Amino acid sequence: MTLRIPKAELPAEIRENLLKQFGAVPEPFEVTAHSPKVAQDSSDMGSRVSEWDMADQGLKTFAHMAVAAQVGCGWCLDINYFQALHLDLDLAKASQVPRWRESEVFTPLERDVLEYAEAMTSTPPAVTDELYAGLLDRLGPAAMVELTAAIGFANMATRNNSAHGITSQGFSDACGIPLAARPEPSGVETSGVETSGAVSTAI
């Protein structure tokens, strides 16, 4: 897939900062730069979401990846795997998020968080009282609210990127362990999203 909208020109200083931070300019920044207010507010929102600290960062990262795999946003799946590397998360687990139901590497809590992320992403949402109550009991109210908001933000980011035609830039190539393919309902595995090519920013 190619971008459905041309990239906007970024100010030199911003471009240089992004290159230093990621090694490449993330395409979501170049797309949203057409609307400076959207670009600034999206960046600010993403920064604030990344600063939340009541829920485990690993759980939130895996949840974002589960949303990306379900929506089909290769860019978000790619960048969150890249972020997992820099957060010192378990890359073996992160690589298996697209096929978490078939994988045996996740704890019961992680599996429930991934199920919750998918249930929130379904249309209409498929969250059950039992699933919610089980997570609330283990995480507590503050972390549960934060996790839910983070998954909601992930849905905004993944659907925004997908609509613009933004796909993977290959940031996950640095992780060493390839991302697993997402199984199709038939059981035949296929990635469903493009996961190779250079960097969550939260755009």
Quote the pLDDT of residue 185: 63
Q: Are 49 and 43 in contact (CB under 8 A)?
A: no
Instruction: Please state, in angstroms and rounded to a whole number, the distance separating the CA atoms of residues 168 and 183.
Output: 19
Indicate whether 190 pLDDT > 50.
no
Q: What does the DSSP 8-state code read for residue 189?
A: B
121-145 per-position pLDDT tens digit? 999 999 999 999 999 999 999 999 9
Q: Which residues make up the CATH 1.20.1290.10 domain(s) of the chain?
A: 54-175
Has this prediction a pTM greater than 0.85? yes
Quote the pLDDT of residue 199: 32
Instruction: Please state, in angstroms and rounded to a whole number, the distance separating the CA atoms of residues 149 and 142.
Output: 11
CA distances from 84 to 10, 32, 61, 95 (A): 27, 24, 7, 10
70-85 per-position pLDDT tens digit? 999 999 999 999 999 9
Instruction: Please state, in angstroms and rounded to a whole number, the distance separating the CA atoms of residues 126 and 41.
Output: 30
154-182 per-position pLDDT tens digit? 999 999 999 999 999 998 888 888 888 88
2-56 per-position pLDDT tens digit? 899 999 999 999 999 999 988 899 999 999 999 999 999 999 999 999 999 999 9
Quote the pLDDT of residue 168: 92
- Percent of the chain at pLDDT exceeding 70: 90
Assign domain 54-175 to a CATH class: mainly alpha
Angle, to 10 degrees, between the axis of helix 57-71 and the axis of helix 108-121?
Answer: 40
Quote the pLDDT of residue 184: 74
Q: Which three-class secondary structure state does DSSP give residue 183? A: strand
Quote the pLDDT of residue 2: 85
Q: How confident is the model at residue 186 (pLDDT cuts 50, 70, 90)?
A: low
**Signed CA dihedral, 25, 31, 34, 38: sign only:** negative
Q: Are 39 and 33 in contact (CB under 8 A)?
A: yes
